[in-house]
């Protein structure tokens, strides 16, 4: 890295550090040094409770020093290697353990660029004891650990709270030998030849809730604190990974939330994290409590069928101006197939109530190219959007986002074929034309077919993925540049 580049990196780090509030002391000295890599943007890493939880566990593990790494601090400025830590500017290759947190399979594609920058072989068998121990975890590893099994020394396909303390203790007590971890629950050491163990998923979120111990005003929640209200989802949508990998469903008790809020008196803005927040059994009680404490609520998608007038009023009073609903499809045939029914009249009534309450923006998520979907299903979706427009003050109050079906492992539809690129393009073209006919004012976005297909490939890929990455790492080294396509998935 040239001096000029390093200087601009350091000044950006200083700027971002100034946006952070820390709720635990940071220390960067210890017997074991861990680099914790979020292979994507700083803003996404600092909004990810999985990444933050791993950081918090390592920070509170005696004898462990942990530093954060983000290969891209900002979307416009992906870093050129070598990579420096966020805390002290120490090079990534200096650490004894490098831990990756993969939230999305697309982030697997960052591996060749990062490894080649370190001069570290992609294939685990080509590395020796002088190389750092490489550990990977996160939702994408829970989804498809096999794809990384020739690359990483240790894979943690389950929840970090149960597996990580035991991993660190064993590495402290027995030395830096991945093999010593093979018998730990929730840990897979592929070199032993054993099959992956069942993921650990019994963490009691009421004893130790997941929350943001570092709050950055640059996080994706506008600088709000974050707390996990529910892990897992009681519903059963055929395509959904969240339901499949977080079992059993656990919810944070309102009393525990109250206790946490008492410990964080400066929290006036709170992001409530849950795959399906409105299915929390005590959501009304929680909203009432946040309302009494005058805490602004930030949440992701809401369940239209659970949007009682009181909840709507509290959301509005807390300063929320826009809401997000996920009807997925307008076709009743496909609603039944994905196990996500939608009662049209009640849905439209909900839209009317939302705007009557003074909300200004409504975002609707749909998915297209579902298995067996045809033009009549797409027409049904267009028809639902048409009716939604009439229930809204104007088309300009709505925005529509279409994702493309990606079959994920462990879901009911893991073996269903994704559409081809041509079919995806055709569906997008058709929907665009039909929606444009409804109103040119309507804002509509579509996921990229190329990225959806890459994601489909990565979520089904097996250990042979390592060979592709090894070849790509060689090319990166030859070009001496961080391959341009490494950051193609940053844009979400």
Residue (189 or 249) nearer to ligand SF4, CB: 249
Cβ 185 vs Cβ 161: under 8 Å: no
Cα separation of the two ends of the chain: 27
Strand (E) or helix (H) holding 244:
helix 241-245
Residue 242 binds ligand SF4 (CB under 6 A): yes
Rule CB under 6 A: is residue 407 a binding residue for ligand SF4? no
Least distance between ligand SF4 and beta carbon 239 (Å): 7
Residue 428 Cβ vs ligand SF4, minimum distance, rounded to whole Å: 22
Q: Is 139 a binder of ligand SF4 (CB under 6 A)?
A: no
- 295 belongs to the binding site for ligand SF4 (CB under 6 A): no
Q: Any contact of residue 90 with ligand SF4 (CB under 6 A)?
A: no
389 part of the interface to ligand SF4, by CB under 6 A: no
Count other Cβ atoms within 10 Å, centred on residue 52. Answer: 24
Least gap, CB of 249 to ligand SF4 (angstroms): 9
Distances (CA, A) of 211 to 136, 225, 226, 228, 361: 21, 8, 5, 6, 28
| Gap between the Cα atoms of 270 and 69, Å rounded | 25
Tell me the C-alpha distance between 453 and 444, whole Å.
21
At closest approach, how far in Å is the CB of 220 from ligand SF4?
18
Phi and psi at residue 30, to the nearest 5°: 180, 170
Sheet holding 361-368, edge to edge: 322-328, 361-368, 398-404, 443-446
Q: What is the 3-state secondary structure (H, E, C) of 365-414?
A: EEEECCCCCCHHHHHHHHHHHHHHHHHCCCHHHEEEEEEECCCCCCCCCC
**Dihedral over Cα of 51, 54, 58, 59: its sign:** positive
Site for ligand SF4 in 163-202 (CB under 6 A): none
Shortest Å, Cβ 130 to ligand SF4: 44
- CA atoms of 373 and 383, how far apart (whole Å): 15
Query: How far apart are CB 235 and ligand SF4 at their closest, in Å?
Result: 4
Q: Does the protein bind ligand SF4 through residue 400 (CB under 6 A)?
A: no
Cα–Cα distance measured from residue 347 to residue 183, given in angstroms and rounded to the nearest whole number: 50
Confirm or reject binding of residue 408 to ligand SF4 (CB under 6 A). no
In angstroms, give the least distance from the CB of 284 to ligand SF4: 18
Q: Which x/- pattern, by CB under 6 A, does the window 269-288 give for ligand SF4?
A: ------xx------------
Binding to ligand SF4 by residue 233, rule CB under 6 A? Answer: yes
240 lines the binding site for ligand SF4 (CB under 6 A): yes
Q: At closest approach, how far in Å is the CB of 164 from ligand SF4?
A: 25
Stretch that binds ligand SF4, among 85-93, 229-237, 264-272, 452-460 (CB under 6 A): 229-237
**Count, residues near ligand SF4 per rule CB under 6 A:** 9
State the pairing for strand pair 97-101/77-78: unpaired
The nearer residue to ligand SF4, 363 or 426, going by C-beta atoms, is 363
Region of 119 (left: φ > 0; alpha: ψ -120 to 50; beta: rest) is left
Query: Residue 123, interface with ligand SF4 (CB under 6 A)?
Result: no
Residue 282 or 300: the one with the smaller Cβ distance to ligand SF4 is 300
Site map 6..45 versus ligand SF4, x via CB under 6 A:
----------------------------------------
Mark the segment that binds ligand SF4 (CB under 6 A) among 50-58, 113-121, 239-247, 262-270: 239-247
Judged by DSSP in three states, 37 sits in strand
* Residues of span 98-117 touching ligand SF4 by CB under 6 A: none
Question: Would the CA dihedral through 199, 200, 202, 208 be positive or negative?
Answer: negative
Q: Which of 243, 397, 408, 409 binds ligand SF4 (CB under 6 A)?
A: 243
Q: Which is nearer to ligand SF4, 235 or 386 (CB)?
A: 235
CA distances from 265 to 46, 261, 262 (A): 21, 6, 6
CB 427 → ligand SF4: shortest distance, Å?
Answer: 20
Q: Which helix (H) or strand (E) holds 44?
A: helix 42-45
- Cβ closest to ligand SF4, residue 110 vs residue 340: 340
Are 223 and 269 contacting, i.e. CB atoms less than 8 angstroms apart? yes
Tell which residue, 471, 428, 434, has the closest CA to residue 448: 428
Q: Which is nearer to ligand SF4, 133 or 362 (CB)?
A: 362
Task: Mark the segment that binds ligand SF4 (CB under 6 A) among 173-181, 184-192, 232-240, 343-351.
Answer: 232-240
Residue 235 sits in the site that holds ligand SF4 (CB under 6 A): yes
Minimum distance between the CB of residue 370 and ligand SF4, rounded to whole angstroms? Answer: 13
Element (H, E) at 473: helix 465-479
Query: What is the three-state SS of 429-463?
Result: HHHHHHHHHHCCCCEEEECCHHHHHHHHHHHHCCC
Under the criterion CB under 6 A, does residue 411 sit at the interface with ligand SF4?
no
User: Cβ atoms within 10 A of the Cβ of 292, count?
Assistant: 9
* Residues 311 to 340 in contact with ligand SF4, rule: CB under 6 A: 340
State in angstroms the smallest separation of the CB of 238 from ligand SF4: 9
CA distance 111 to 94: 18
Name the residues that contact ligand SF4, by CB under 6 A: 233, 235, 237, 240, 242-243, 275-276, 340
């Amino acid at each position: 890295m040239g001096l000029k580049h390093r200087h601009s990196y350091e000044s950006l780090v200083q700027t971002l550090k100034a946006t952070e509030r820390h709720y635990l002391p940071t220390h960067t000295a210890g017997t074991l040094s861990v680099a914790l890599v979020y292979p994507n943007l700083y803003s996404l890493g600092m909004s990810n409770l999985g990444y933050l939880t791993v950081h918090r566990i390592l920070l509170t593990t005696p004898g462990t020093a942990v530093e954060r790494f983000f290969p891209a601090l900002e979307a416009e400025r992906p870093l050129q290697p070598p990579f420096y830590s966020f805390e002290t500017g120490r090079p990534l290759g200096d650490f004894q353990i490098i831990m990756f947190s993969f939230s999305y399979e697309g982030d697997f594609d960052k591996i060749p660029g990062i490894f080649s920058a370190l001069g570290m072989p992609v294939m685990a068998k080509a590395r020796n004891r002088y190389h750092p121990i490489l550990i990977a975890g996160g939702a994408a590893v829970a989804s498809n650990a096999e794809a990384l099994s020739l690359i990483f020394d240790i894979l943690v396909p389950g929840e970090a709270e149960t597996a990580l303390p035991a991993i660190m203790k064993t590495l402290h007590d027995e030395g830096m030998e991945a093999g010593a971890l093979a018998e730990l629950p929730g840990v897979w050491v592929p070199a032993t030849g054993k099959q992956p163990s069942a993921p650990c998923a019994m963490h009691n979120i009421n004893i130790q809730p997941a929350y943001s111990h570092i709050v950055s005003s640059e996080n994706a929640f506008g600088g709000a604190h974050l707390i996990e209200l529910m892990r897992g989802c009681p519903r059963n949508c055929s395509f959904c990974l969240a339901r499949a990998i977080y079992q059993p469903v656990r919810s944070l008790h309102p009393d525990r939330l109250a206790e946490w809020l008492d410990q964080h008196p400066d929290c006036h803005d709170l992001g409530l994290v849950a795959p399906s927040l409105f299915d929390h059994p005590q959501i009304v009680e929680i909203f009432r409590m946040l309302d009494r404490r005058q805490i602004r609520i930030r949440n992701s998608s809401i369940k239209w069928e659970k949007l009682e007038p009181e909840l709507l009023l509290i959301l509005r009073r807390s300063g929320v101006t826009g809401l997000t609903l996920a009807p997925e499809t307008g076709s009743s045939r496909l609603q039944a197939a994905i196990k996500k029914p939608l009662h049209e009249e009640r849905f439209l009534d909900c839209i009317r109530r939302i705007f009557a309450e003074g909300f200004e923006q409504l975002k609707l998520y749909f998915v297209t190219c579902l298995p067996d979907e045809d033009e009549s299903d797409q027409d049904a979706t267009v028809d639902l959007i048409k009716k939604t427009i009439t229930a809204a003050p104007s088309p300009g109050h709505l925005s529509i986002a279409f994702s493309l079906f990606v079959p994920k492992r462990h879901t009911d539809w893991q073996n269903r074929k994704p559409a081809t690129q041509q079919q995806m393009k055709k569906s997008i073209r058709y929907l665009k034309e039909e929606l444009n006919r409804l109103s040119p004012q309507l804002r509509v976005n579509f996921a990229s077919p190329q990225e959806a297909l890459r994601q489909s490939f990565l979520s089904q890929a097996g250990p042979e993925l390592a060979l592709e990455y090894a070849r790509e790492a060689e090319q990166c080294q030859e070009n001496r540049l961080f391959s341009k396509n490494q950051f193609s998935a940053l844009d979400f």
